C-alpha cells in the first residue's frame, strides 16, 4: 500500500477498470483517498524514471520496478524524490494531493501498474479490454 496508513476502506475495490471514466474511457488504476499531505511511499524497490507536473496526472512520479513494471503515482501535492533516485518501500516519494484533473476533488493518490512485457492472456471483452495486457490490477498487490 503506497499511502501511509491507508487500508481497504481507503479505496473502492471496483474502481480498477471502471467504465465510463472521462477522457481516459476506463479507470486504469486505483484511487486511494487520504488527507492532503499524507506520505506516499514507493510500492517497490526501483528507479525513478520521471517526475514532474503532467496534465491530467498533475504532479506525477514514475518508477521502474521489478519485472520491468512501471509504477505510476499521480495527483500528488508535493514530489519528494528526484529522477534516477533508487527508492524502496520505505522511501517517501511525495504526498497525497489533488493536482491535475483531480483539482476540486477529494485528495487521493491515483496508482497504476503498467507492464512493458504484454500479458495477452489478460485481454477480455471489457471496454478497452485489449489494453489489459499492459495494465495490472494494483489492488491485487495490496
What tens digit of pLDDT does each residue of 10-31 get? 999 999 999 988 788 899 999 9
What's the whole-number mean pLDDT along residues 83-102? 97
| pLDDT for the residue numbered 21 | 82
Residue 45: band (very low, low, confident or very high) from pLDDT cuts 50, 70, 90: very high
Mean pLDDT of the chain: 96
Q: 46 with 54: CB under 8 angstroms?
A: no
Rounded CA separation 15/72 (Å): 16
Would you kindly state where each structural domain of the chain is located, as residue ranges?
8-141
pTM of the model: 0.95
Q: 72 with 62: CB under 8 angstroms?
A: yes
CATH number 3.50.50.60 is the correct assignment for the domain at 8-141? no
Q: 59 with 72: CB under 8 angstroms?
A: no
Cell of 7: 487500508
Amino acid at each position: 500500500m503506497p499511502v501511509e496508513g491507508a487500508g481497504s476502506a481507503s479505496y473502492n475495490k471496483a474502481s480498477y477498470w471502471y467504465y465510463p471514466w472521462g477522457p481516459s474511457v476506463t479507470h486504469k488504476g486505483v484511487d486511494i483517498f487520504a488527507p492532503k499531505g499524507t506520505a506516499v511511499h514507493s510500492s517497490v524497490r526501483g528507479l525513478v524514471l520521471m517526475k514532474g507536473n503532467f496534465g491530467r496526472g498533475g504532479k506525477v512520479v514514475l518508477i521502474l520496478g521489478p519485472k520491468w513494471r512501471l509504477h505510476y503515482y499521480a495527483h500528488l501535492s508535493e514530489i519528494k524524490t528526484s529522477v534516477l533516485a533508487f527508492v524502496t518501500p520505505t522511501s517517501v516519494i511525495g504526498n497525497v494531493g489533488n493536482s491535475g484533473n483531480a483539482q476540486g476533488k477529494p485528495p487521493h493518490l491515483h496508482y497504476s501498474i503498467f507492464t512493458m512485457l504484454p500479458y495477452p492472456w489478460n485481454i477480455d471483452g471489457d471496454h478497452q479490454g485489449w489494453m489489459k495486457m499492459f495494465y495490472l490490477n494494483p489492488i491485487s498487490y495490496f
